[in-house]
Amino acid sequence: MGLAVFSLENKIALVTGGGTGIGLGIAKAYIEAGATVVITGRREQVLKEAVDELGENAQYRVNDITNKKEIPSLVKDIETNIGPVDILVNNAGIHYKGMAQETSDEDFERILQTNVMSVFSLTRECAKYMLERKKGSILMIGSMAGLFGIDKVVAYGTSKTALTGLVNALVTEYSTSNVRVNAIAPGWIESNMFLKAIESDEKRKQQITNRIAMDRFGQTSDIGNAAVFLSSEAAKYITGVVLPVDGGATVNF
């Protein structure tokens, strides 16, 4: 079969938070692999600019995933007007930085609502169609903070750890219908926001660079390429995996 098993030709992918950063990197990689991609996010101008960049095989829908009541109509709209969602990428999420003792219940709950509860709601809705068709690929975007302890991100780290539990549970229920569920745990990936954040904190920058085994930060395309693999026929017997794409950070001392 050669490289054909890595093709996403005739596939439709829904990528939440697809207008910038890792989500946009995944959308680009999917389109290069032949897929049609629908990106979502809250800011229409950002989405428009992303679709202009992505080309004719990209569309967008303005959507806030925390508004769970709108999720069924979002998925039905895509299924009816674009086509069956073969691939779901739960990329949208929010971050919160603060020591545990400074993190309020409201802050903690806000992170969990966006990064876990909304992910489950959208996954359940897309899976309703996938399970009927007996095929589909669902990807969660985790984090290094879900694989080992990192200070100042107690709420975020907990939310990303919870995604591993969600993957495990869904695998037990979805696999007999040939719907695969996996996660990618990105390492430290270059973006304007990330680079700006570490520029102002030299100690944390040193911590991070010491942790990475390779001599560079990752690119959004590194995550995109991993997503293509896990969503393709090349990974048809892979489910329940949390794949670190991290330059060796999880194993480096």
Q: Which residues are catalytic?
A: 156
Tens digit of each residue's pLDDT, the chain (253 residues): 578 999 999 999 999 999 999 999 999 999 999 999 999 999 999 999 999 999 999 999 999 999 999 999 999 999 999 999 999 999 999 999 999 999 999 999 999 999 999 999 999 999 999 999 999 999 999 999 999 999 999 999 999 999 999 999 999 999 999 999 999 999 999 987 788 778 888 898 999 999 999 999 999 999 999 999 999 999 999 999 999 999 999 999 8
Judge whether 240 and 171 are in contact, CB under 8 Å. Answer: yes
Q: What range does the domain containing 53 cover?
A: 2-244
| pLDDT, position 67 | 96
Instruction: Examine residue 251 and state whether it is found in any structural domain, yes or no.
Output: no
Instruction: Examine residue 253 and state whether it is found in any structural domain, yes or no.
Output: no
Instruction: Examine residue 252 and state whether it is found in any structural domain, yes or no.
Output: no
Instruction: Examine residue 58 and state whether it is found in any structural domain, yes or no.
Output: yes
- State how many domains the chain has: 1
Instruction: Examine residue 31 and state whether it is found in any structural domain, yes or no.
Output: yes
Q: What is the pTM of this model?
A: 0.96
Q: Which residues contact 135 (CB under 8 A, 6 or more apart)?
A: 86, 177, 178, 179
Instruction: Examine residue 249 and state whether it is found in any structural domain, yes or no.
Output: no
Q: Tokens at residue 94, please? A: 């929010």
| pLDDT, position 197 | 75
Q: Could you tell me the CATH number of the domain that includes residue 63?
A: 3.40.50.720
Instruction: Examine residue 250 and state whether it is found in any structural domain, yes or no.
Output: no
Instruction: Examine residue 55 and state whether it is found in any structural domain, yes or no.
Output: yes
Distance, in Å, from the CA atom of 170 to the CA atom of 80, rounded to the nearest integer, reads 25
Phi, psi of 64 (to 5 degrees): -105, 110
Chain position carrying tokens 């990528």: 15
